[in-house]
Amino acid sequence: MENLSFTLKAPAAAGGARPRAIVGVVASGNLEVLAERISPAGACTVEIATSAHGFGAVWQAVVTDFVARRAAGGLRLSINDGGARPDTVALRLAQAVRLIEEPGA
Amino acid sequence: MKNWNAQKTALAERLADGRRFASGKTIEVADLPNFLEAVIRPGDRVCLEGDNQKQADVLAAALASVDPAKIYDLHMVQSGIVLPEHLDVFEKGIARKLDYSYSGPQAARVARLLFGGKIELGAVHTYLELFARYFIDLTPQVALIAAVSADRDGNLYTGANTEDTPTVVEATSYKSGLVVAQVAEIVDKLPRVDIPGDLVHFMVEAKKPFYVEPLFTRDPAAITESQILTAMLAIKGIYAPYGVQRLNHGIGFSTAAIELLLPTYGEKLGLKGRVCTHFALNPHPTLIPAIEAGWVRQIHSFGSEVGMEDYVAARSDVFFTGPDGSLRSNRAFCQVAGLYACDMFIGSTLQIDLEGHSSTVTASRVAGFGGAPNMGSDARGRRHPSEPWLKAGAEADPGSSAALRRGRKLVVQIGETFGEGNDSLFVERLDALELAEKLNLDLAPVMIYGDDVTHIVTEEGIANLLLCRDRDEREQAIRGVAGYTQVGRARDAAMVARLRERGAVRRPEDLGIDPLDADRRLLAARSIKDLMLASGGLYRPPSRFRNW
């Protein structure tokens, strides 16, 4: 298991009011993302626990693109990764942000 | 006095040698090895019928058990290296030289035998190219073929999986070669005659059907959201703007996803009747929902697909069928149809380099190409216009006179940036080059050359290579859809942004597609069982695909 941590500038605040959202599953080639509204405004923190070693640069690229494309300010994202491919990671991150924006719960 | 009929004389000798084992034209299975030793000569060019689907498996087993002291140095000229026996003949020294087209399951062993010097490789062809050489310089002296049934005269019924048989028999028999057929049974009256009996010299009653691989079945349950997104990009970004009506789909989950999105996503885009009306295609189970929804007018097939026989027979307005009701497939004709009468080929590959060359050959696996190099090539002899062909031609060469401008076939490579085993689809250098160096080949085995490729689609977007004006632009357009692979991360972001302004790179948002809409609920069928239900019970999936 490798643990990675990123803190990124995320000027656009995440929409909605849900305190947290969870998407995905921990399985081979998949991942689980827990989004919580507990980071400082203007920042997004990402904590990753992954079964695949040595992909720090790829994670950095994926989360940097993610905060540039989606409104993720104020979120802390905790990821349990089962060796998912970067495109799957990007999709799950986007799904987590969409879910936390939704009304209800 | 020169003998101008030596081949006929040689055939007469083979026939006389073979008749010692025959009753009429019939050989017993148990006598096959001795029979083959009697009729085959060392050094013969032999076509042991087998492609990516049907296999003359009983004859393959018999050939692999002949005595290598008697039969050796054969030159195998056949579509597929698929069964273990196809390579056993090389390991045992029965065969030495190989010209072929496709090897799926045996790809790793082909590589080992090539490196070990057991196989002397002629070339890896596309099907149509190998068939062409059957009539010029690779004419078989012996063809060992497969059919469903025969009558006493040797007339053959090849059924839904006719595939290569007419081509192989035509080339062999009319050039004084020997044709031996395995059939499941010998009957009094055939459902239809696919091969005339006077072209068939001997037959063996195998008492079981020839083996057929269900190669074109993709379980919708395994289709991922990334594949759905990629399929949405292809439909909205390529099928719709070019108005692609006549096409071929390669094998794979990406094209299966496209087929399953037609009645849902395609319907929503108003594309029914405007795209995907005519196919050169095997009966893909994943096309059932689109056929049932009235999208598809006509399909001609290379071969059949296991379990689709009853469905095809019940949809004769769509498929080509015989007077007996069953599918008539023909690989050579369907490849010609794909070359000249289709406006688009879309398929997957294992590696794409920075010029757009693609190959399924990797360092340890020499898979062949099958039909892809043919389907995925621009037919320089084409003369009839169509909307997609003209539009693609205009994009590639906007400056020239429209009436003198060649159109272009759309050749689309589709896939996820990280493929099976998380290997990158994009590479700086094809493994095929390393193989060519190691084996001292004149040509690296490239499946589709970069100058034939018009579009590359991944989950990140579409690269339109028709709109790229030089090598640098092509390279950056390719890097620009290569996602988080090393090739993708090494892009020149400013140049990719400029290409995007020109539409040479298009992102989901440029096409009004939200990646979050790529949901499995969009699939018209989400399991094999759904496909069976959509067919009204006519599709009978093979047991390995049944999990209920």
ipTM score here? 0.91
Token pair of B174 as six digits: 């009319």
Span A71-96, pLDDT tens digits: 999 999 999 999 999 999 999 999 99
The alpha helices in B305-430, defined as continuous H runs, are 309-313, 331-340, 372-375, 387-396
Chain pair A-B, CB pairs under 8 angstroms: 38
- The verdict on A86 touching B (C-beta cutoff 8 Å) is yes
A83: contact with B, CB 8 A cutoff: yes
What whole-number distance in Å separates Cα of residue B119 and Cα of residue B106? 13
Q: Which two tokens stand for residue B135?
A: 């009539």
d(CA B8, CA B2): 14
Say if residue B214 is exposed, middle or buried (CB neighbours under 10 Å; 0-12, 13-18, 19+).
middle
Look up the pTM and report it: 0.95
Q: What is the pLDDT of residue A105?
A: 57
What residues have CB less than 8 Å from B313, skipping those under 6 apart?
A: B321, B325, B326, B327
Residues in B closer than 8 angstroms to A98, CB to CB, are: 516
A103 CB within 8 Å of a chain B CB: no
* Cβ of residue A60 closer than 8 Å to a chain B Cβ: no
Q: Which residues of B touch A58 (CB under 8 A)?
A: 484, 489
Q: In three state form, how does the secondary structure of chain A look?
A: CEEEEEEEECCCECCCCCCEEEEECCCCCCEEEEEECCCCCCEEEEEEEECCCCCHHHHHHHHHHHHHHCCCECCEEEEEECCCCHHHHHHHHHHHHHHHHCCCC
Check residue B50 and report its DSSP letter: B
Check CB contact of B460 with chain A, cutoff 8 Å: yes
The contacts of residue A98 (CB under 8 Å, 6+ apart) are B516
| Nearest CA distance, B424 vs chain A (angstrom) | 10
B417, closest residue in chain A (CA to CA): A87
Q: What are the residues whose beta carbons fall under 8 Å from the beta carbon of B73, sequence distance 6 or more?
A: B42, B43, B95, B96, B97
Q: Please, which residues have CB within 8 angstroms of residue B389's CB and are 6 or more apart in sequence? A: B343, B382, B407, B408, B409
Six token digits for residue A39 = 């980071």
Closest among A86, A105, A91 to A24, alpha carbons compared: A91
CA-CA-CA-CA torsion sign (B305, B307, B311, B312): positive
Q: Which B residues in the span 125-164 are in contact with A, Cβ-Cβ below 8 Å?
A: none
- What are the tokens at A2? 């490798």
Residue B419 touches partner A, C-beta closer than 8 Å: no
Structural domains in chain B plus CATH codes = 8-211 (3.40.1080.10), 220-530 (3.40.1080.10)
Structure tokens that stand for B259 in this block = 């087929």
A95 touches chain B (CB under 8 A): yes
Strands (DSSP E) found in B158-201: 178-186
Checking phi first, is residue B461 left (phi over 0); if not, alpha (psi -120 to 50) or beta? left
pLDDT of residue A28: 87
pLDDT band at A1 (very low <50, low <70, confident <90, very high): confident
- Which residues, 6 or more positions from B140, have their beta carbon under 8 angstroms from its beta carbon? B45, B46, B47, B77, B134, B168, B171, B172, B177
Return d(Cα B238, Cα B172) in angstroms, integer.
42
Hey, what are B305's tokens?
């697909």
Structure tokens at B6: 């030596």
Task: Please state whether beta strands B278-280 and B298-300 pair in parallel, antiparallel, or not at all (unpaired).
Answer: parallel
**Closest by Cβ to B484, choosing from A62, A83, A95:** A62
Distance from the A90 Cα atom to the nearest Cα atom in chain B, whole angstroms? 10
Hey, is the C-beta of B227 within 8 angstroms of any chain A C-beta?
A: no
Q: CA-based angle B167:B171:B174, to the nearest 5? A: 125
Quick one: tokens of B411?
């050749």
pLDDT of residue B547: 78
Give the C-alpha separation, B57 to A68, whole Å.
57
Would you write out chain B's pLDDT as a tens digit for each of its 548 residues?
Answer: 889 999 999 999 999 999 999 999 999 999 999 999 999 999 999 999 999 999 999 999 999 999 999 999 999 999 999 999 999 999 999 999 999 999 988 999 999 999 999 999 999 999 999 999 999 999 999 999 999 999 999 999 999 999 999 999 999 999 999 999 999 999 999 999 999 999 999 999 999 999 998 889 999 999 999 999 999 999 999 999 999 999 999 999 999 999 999 999 999 999 999 999 999 999 999 999 999 999 999 999 999 999 999 999 999 999 999 999 999 999 999 999 999 999 999 999 999 999 999 999 887 888 888 999 999 999 999 999 999 999 999 999 999 999 999 999 999 999 999 987 788 999 999 999 999 998 888 999 999 999 999 999 999 999 999 999 999 999 999 999 999 999 999 999 999 999 999 999 999 999 999 999 999 999 999 999 999 999 999 999 999 898 77
Across the interface, whether the CB atoms of B518 and A91 are under 8 A apart is answered yes
Let me know: does B155 contact B192? Beta carbons within 8 Å: no
Q: Which of A23, A69, A87, A98 to mutate to test the interface with B (most CBs of B within 10 A)?
A: A87
The verdict on a CB contact (< 8 Å) between B422 and A83 is yes
Q: Which of B417, B418, B516 sits opposite A94 (nearest CB)?
A: B516
* CB B278, CB B250: distance < 8 Å: no
Strands B54-55 and A31-36: unpaired
What burial letters (b/e) apply to A74-98, b meaning 16+ CB within 10 Å?
A: bbbbbbbbbbbbbbbbbbbbbbbbb
Summary mean pLDDT of chain A = 93
3-state secondary structure of B415: coil
Question: Could you tell me which CATH class the domain A2-101 is placed in?
Answer: alpha beta
Q: Which of B224, B484, B513, B520 to mutate to test the interface with A (most CBs of A within 10 A)?
A: B484
Beta-carbon neighbour count of residue B167 at 10 Å?
Answer: 24
Contact B327, B321 (CB under 8 A): yes
Residue B510 and residue B501: Cα distance in Å, rounded? 10
Q: Are A105 and A48 in contact (CB under 8 A)?
A: no
SS3 content of chain B, % helix, strand, coil (to 5): 40, 20, 45
Looking up tokens 């719960």, which residue turns up?
A105
* Dist CA B133 CA B183 (whole Å): 27
Q: Do A88 and B224 touch (CB under 8 A)?
A: yes
pLDDT greater at residue A14 or residue B104:
A14
A82 vs B: CB within 8 A: no
Q: Give the whole-angstrom CA distance, residue B125 versus residue B98.
A: 11
Asked whether residue A69 carries a pLDDT value surpassing 70, the answer given is yes
What is B117-131 written as a DSSP string? TS-EEEEE--HHHHH
Which residues, at least 6 apart from B475, have a Cβ–Cβ distance to it below 8 Å?
B354, B355
A94 interfaces chain B, CB cutoff of 8 Å: yes
Distance CA A94, CA A23 (A): 10
Closest-CA distance, A84 to chain B, in angstroms, reads 9
